[in-house]
Structure 1
Amino acid sequence: MIFSLALLIVFFVIALKISPREKKNDAHVHGAGQIGLLAAVALFGVDYFTSFYYGTGEMMSALHPLGLQRYGFIAAAVISLGNIVFGALYMYSLGIFNEGGGSYTASMRYLTPGLSLIVAVTLIQDYVLTIVVSALNGADQFLSIFGFMQTNWVWHFAIGASLAAITWFLTIRGRGESSRVVFMLLSVFFLLTVVMAIGLFIAKHSGVPSQPMETVPQTVSLKTALMHLLTASMKGMVALTGLEAMSNGIQFVIDEDFPLVKWGKKRLPKFKKLWQFYSGKSGIGRMVQTSFLFYGGITTFFLSAFSIHFNVFDGTLGRTLVGNLALIGFGSFPGGTILYWSYQLLAVFLLAAASMTAFQDAQATEWRDVAIGEIPEIIVYRDARGTFTRSVTITFGIAILIMLLVKGETTKAVPFYGVGVFMPIMIMGLSIRKHVITHYSGAVQKWGTAAATFAAALAALVFVMQIIGKWSEGGWMVLISFSLLVLCANLILLSPIGYRTPKQIHRIVRKKARVEGHMASIVEWQSLKMQEYRYSILSGIARFFEIFGIRRPGQFPKPAEAGAYDEAIHALNADSFILQFMSKAEQSEIIRSDDIA
């Protein structure tokens, strides 16, 4: 017992020492709410890192009932391939779209506003469901400690809602505080996982027996086996939201080199290209995403191997897969029960903290959606700490409602979670393809186009296969919900809520969201482009009804033409991009209000 307690104390001291601290000076230099590398790893990586607790469990649950668990390595290989391809795509994209917005910005620049609108609503759905699944998984892990995973749904809902409430509270207090707490938890998680892994190897070689076979597996056809392997791969590939999260939330990252890059540029200048790749805020984002290339594959192979060896899965002995392995692994050490309880409680807090990634990206997305006319203007409010508190609170409220609708059952929410993110990944691949064709030639264009096309095609395939693989569990409902979301998004945009004048756009972006520089110019340009799209749809509807002799009295006011993306982002005075679309009186009014402020 003394050994275990001492180990926990040492791990927490280490975590406390290396955790990021928000300095008052940073707010003056970089702006309120801007974060560095360690904080970015915590806030934008926690959802991905904590997929350790449920991804492999979901994957093996698709194989185990039919006795196909020994083929889990094939599913893990598919997951590894997806991680590498999609991770590389997004690492490259951060050099091009380094002002935030992810595939939303990319599609507006290179594809069409209609696709941007689809991406916007898809991401909001995915962020809300990230909160739902993470919090309910946290409840599963907590109940797993006592072997009560199959208890009444009310307990799952109550615990999940409470965990979501805690992360909501931490998020509205600002990114600095929340990132430090999450980083400390992640640090202890990694250290304890290493100890658990050592314990599992000790248990394996010391002859700890595996669990007896619960039922005799039925004989299945090759077709059924392949279908379940497909389902397992899709269930394990659930936490790639972090890629889009980092790309979308890069706007909240400080624009300076992190210490390793500073050291490398000074001490090892011969690796100049490497240091350039990881320079600035794009480099911080790429460093976070680098872990995505290998983490998912390594952890899935690791957990699959010991799951097969010890014959434990989600539900075995009333515990989750990781809960069962943790009990075996920590049981190899003196006082291992204390380590087991600590690890499982840590799982609860980390899975709750994974909601923070969604809360951060809901903020990054929703103020843009307000600017383009997709959400009412009243939603935008940014406090002194740089947090969009109304966006966070509304997202939290919707997540609680969904938890209640699924009656606290994680499995009912999982089919909707992780599906939506592959649509934005596909859009990002197509955008990168267009970028390569536009800016390169020769062999670079040929191979770059091929790589981007492959990434987009793979994302499209995974998007479809996620629905097929989860069809019997409600995957068919994803098609309905996705179609309804896209329809509703267009209806809202076409309604009076969706109308935006240049003056309104300026007020939303510069005054309410308090965004400046190139990022503000990009969003202003996007908003004008979306108004062009709105006008074209309304005009098309009017022309359609004119066929039947139905004419709308008066004319739709034609919006200002946004022009090309490069004209907006490379304007000599980026801070005044939107002013050129206003009348002289409106410009004077804004200038006077700025002087007063």
Structure 2
Amino acid sequence: MINTNENKNSQTSIIELDIDYKPPRTLRSWLIGRPLSTADASHQTIGKVVGLAVFASDALSSTAYATQEILGVIAAAGTIAYGYLFPISLAIITLLAIVTISYEQTIHAYPGGGGAYIVARDNLGELPAQTAGAALLTDYILTVSVSISAGVAQIVSAYPELFPYRVAIAVIAVLLVMLVNLRGVKESGTAFAIPTYFFVVLMVATVGYGIFRYFTGSLGMVVDPPHFEASHVISVITPFILLHAFANGTTALTGVEAISNGITAFKEPRSKNAGITLVWMSLILGALFLGLSFLTGKVHAVFSEEETVISQLARTIYGGRGIPYLMLLTGTTVILIMAANTAFADFPRLGALHAGDGFLPRQLTYRGSRLVYSRGIVSLAVIASLLIIIFQASVTRLIPLYAIGVFLSFTLSQAGMARRWWKIGHLKEGVEIVEPGSTLKYESGWQYRMLINGFGAICTAVVMVVFAVTKFSEGAWVVLILTPVLVGIFFSIHHHYKGLAKKLSLDNFGAIPPQAIRHRVIVPVSGVHQGTLAALHYARMLSDDITAVHVTIEPAEAEKVRQKWETWGEGVRIVMLASPYRLFLEPLLGYISAISRQRQPGETITIVVPEFVSDSRVTALLHTNTADLLRSQLKRQHGIVIINVPYHVHE
């Protein structure tokens, strides 16, 4: 069924068609669910309760290993180390409060989401923005690797015989989380909500019961602790060692920024719901982290790769490996694996923002059948699985790569916010400045807000430097090299897209050469530029009967095509095919088939396809080859000819 709406108000004929096409049921739809229409996007948002499960699982899960990472640095000092554990944790919680207040302000200032990337882009410039983006993308990849590996470590603690299979188990877990996320934000959030709250309730109960037993004098020490052999004995705990331990413990803050990046996933009012969820997350995180650190020092838990601190605490508090112990370790394992869900929620969104600005391949802006950025989700799963294999699912080996990117993004985000408040403070009342990510207008109390963000930027910058220095030889140098390399790649991609747009621009472009002989032609049009006009010129040489066809995936983009076509189409009619499921090939093939069935005997239909040809094989990968896709689908149909009209751009 084709519904036609032809606009005859202008000289150029613009026809809008609603195509009654739904993707068929396949194995893929069985795995990830039926395709969703673009109109369903507003129904895929989530509330605060589900939002906490989607975006806070990373931060909450860090309570399972943050205390252990602090202990790993100071344990070589012997029993004296336990006296430093709780004060270090208090310092980390203070930093958590500063970062939370800062990101709460970011959420309300930038309700469109994007977090550190958008804040840095609007206030610090393109280079800091791409640096923040590279740091965050790296962090999300490592979030998946670390959290999944930590979850598998909990399984291995309960069942030591599975230790040789930990890498395979971790990779399977990554693929399962990927599959759930391909089903959409709403479904993945609902699926993960129950396990998240199961973990929170169990952890609160365990910490509460442990503190009760301590103050009633019945807690005791860890029975039969795992063997710990320090590589060297620390006779005196120096300030450097304390800083090293503090830096390790700040892994508890990873994931705090996730909510500010994913504001658009929340129901209206988005900023309010996201802000409340952030506060909930920080309060739960802070309370659990402090409680675990306090109890770890009291029961003298031991740092070990073979048995986690959580496992030692649980069997000490519950007096063995009974049902409460197994329930807690199961909940901890699930939340650690689910922590990867935060990265799967944010990595594709951030990748799409980069791609939309032209710093990553445009294909990452594509939303799949379930209204999620499916290509970004799959890319994240593949890269994270490779890291797990390379580092053998070892949390201790992955942690040094982890927190530098987090705190680099923290620093740039808060510095950008401080700069934003400074700009606001120097505006006159009633004056508004519209920036890509937000609107600036004078607000009283800007000095106070600028001070909070500025102080937070200094604190997180210090932590980042400490982490880089203390963990440099353990692998942090990889991130220090990787981040600038990624930024260089981003700018290379951007340079390609920008140069291409300039060379294809219609600004100051001359008149279209006169048309020639008649032939029936269909010209698929993705956008209106010099390449499109070259194909249109060739079509005019074949026939006067020409129909341009544009598949409408995003309404805003379609409006741009409509406006440009009225200027540059020179009276050639254009059919706008509505594609509510964001499919390109199927609606176009359906339209061509409908025209083919109506053709006269002996009539030939020619599909003239504009084809971009790059001089570089590398940059060619950044573009979808529509001509090859159409040729592969239509070459077996009789009476249809496909002609590629290449447009070359010398780079």
- What's the TM-score bracket when you normalise by the shorter of the two chains? 0.7 to 0.9
| Cα gap change, 1:581 to 1:202, in 2 (>3 Å) | same
Shift of 1:386: 1.4
Aligned mate of 1:297, from 274, 286, 305: 286
Aligned to 2:72: 61
How far the C-alpha of 1:243 sits from its partner, in A, is 2.9
2:118 equivalent in structure 1: 105
1:284 is aligned to 2:273: yes
- 1:17-96 alignment runs, 5 A limit: 31-67=42-78, 68-96=81-109
* 1:89-143 Cα deviation digits (max 9, x unpaired): 0101111101011121112222211221112222111111100001101110000
Change (3 A) 1:580 1:226: farther
Q: 1 or 2 for the larger relative contact order (CA 8 Å, sep ≥6)?
A: 1
Say if 2:312 is the partner of 1:327: no
What is the 5 A alignment of 1:517-528? none
Q: Secondary structure at the match of 1:206?
A: coil
- Contact kept? 2:116, 2:132, Cα under 8 Å: yes
Contact 2:184 2:371 in 1 (8 A): yes
Contact 1:231–1:469 under 8 Å retained in 2 = yes
CA distance 1:212–1:589, change in 2 (3 Å): farther
Residue identity matched to 1:165: L
Structure-2 change in CA distance of 1:25 and 1:137 (3 Å): closer
Contact 2:228-2:304 within 8 A present in 1 as well: no
Report the alpha carbon displacement of residue 219 of structure 1 after superposing the two structures with TM.
Answer: 6.7
Aligned counterpart in structure 1 of residue 363 of structure 2, from 371, 378, 386? 378
Cα deviation, residue 592, structure 1? 5.6
| 1:194-273 matched pairs, under 5 angstroms | 194-201=204-211, 203-204=213-214, 205-206=217-218, 208-211=220-223, 220=234, 224-255=237-268
Displacement, 1:361? 0.5
Greater alpha carbon shift after TM alignment, 300-309 vs 288-297? 288-297
Moved more, 42-51 or 290-299: 290-299
- 1:347-426 counterparts in 2 under 5 A? 347-426=332-411
Counterparts of 2:103 and 2:41, CA distance in 1? 24
Q: SS of the residue aligned with 1:313?
A: coil
d(CA) in 2 for partners of 1:586, 1:64: 72
Q: Alpha carbons of 1:498 and 1:31: their partners in 2 closer, same or farther (altered >3 Å)?
A: farther
Tell me the CA shift for residue 282 of structure 1. 0.4
Q: Distance in 1 between matches of 2:461 and 2:563?
A: 38
Corresponding letter in the other structure for 1:31: S
d(CA) in 2 for partners of 1:236, 1:415 = 12
**Separation of aligned partners in 2, 1:251 and 1:382:** 15
The 8 Å contact of residues 131 and 487 in structure 2, kept in 1 or not, is answered as yes
The 1-side partners of 2:568 and 2:385 are apart by 42
CA drift of 1:479 comes to 1.6
Matches within 5 A, 1:468-507: 468-495=469-496, 499-500=500-501
Contact 1:369–1:375 (CA<8 Å) still a contact in 2?
Answer: yes
Q: Distance in 2 between matches of 1:291 and 1:588?
A: 58
Moved more, 291-300 or 105-114: 291-300
What corresponds to 1:455 in structure 2?
456
Aligned residue number for residue 118 of structure 1 = 131
* Residue aligning to 2:322: 337
Aligned to 1:162: 172
For 1:519-568, what per-residue CA distance to the aligned partner results, in whole angstroms no more than 9, with x for missing partners?
xxxxxxxxxxxxxxxxxxxxxxxxxxxxxxxxxxxxxxxxxxxxxxxxxx
The answer (yes or no) to whether the contact 2:202–2:331 under 8 Å persists in 1 is no
The two structures have a TM-score, normalised by structure 2, of 0.66
Sequence identity of aligned pairs in percent? 22
Does residue 189 of the first structure (1) align with residue 199 of the second (2)? yes
Q: Indicate the residue corresponding to 1:175 in structure 2.
A: 185
Contact 1:89 1:455 in 2 (8 A): yes
Q: 1:91 to 1:146 in 2, by over 3 A?
A: same
Alignment of 1:575-586 (within 5 A): 585=567
Q: Structure 1 CA distance, aligned partners of 2:570 and 2:154?
A: 59
| CA-atom RMSD in angstroms | 3.4
Contact kept, 8 Å, 1:502 with 1:582, in 2: the verdict is: no
Letter in 2 for 1:129: L
Separation in 1, partners of 2:355, 2:229 = 56
The one-letter code matched in structure 2 to 1:408 is A
Question: Equivalent residues in 2 for 1:491-570 (5 A)?
Answer: 491-495=492-496, 499-500=500-501
Inter-partner Cα distance in structure 2 for 1:313 and 1:590? 76
Gapped regions of structure 2 (runs ≥ 5): 1-32, 427-442, 506-554, 580-651
| Structure with bigger gyration radius | 2
What's the counterpart of residue 431 of structure 2? Answer: none
- Gapped runs of 5+ residues in structure 1? 1-21, 256-279, 505-572
TM-score, structure 1 length as denominator? 0.72
Alignment: residue pair count: 475
1:346 aligns with 2:359: no
Note if contact 1:211-1:312 (Cα within 8 Å) is conserved in structure 2. Answer: no
Q: Secondary structure at the match of 2:366?
A: coil
Structure with greater helix share of residues: 1
Q: Which moved more, 1:38-47 or 1:429-438?
A: 429-438
Q: Does 1:434 align with 2:419?
A: yes
Change (3 A) 1:212 1:454: same
Greater share of strand: 2
- Give, in whole Å, the separation in 1 of the partners of 2:130 and 2:265: 22
Task: Return the offset for 1:50.
Answer: 0.8
Structure 1's 502 and 281: CA in aligned 2 closer, same or farther, altered over 3 A?
A: farther
- How much does 1:331 deviate? 2.8
CA distance in 2, matches of 1:371, 1:215: 50
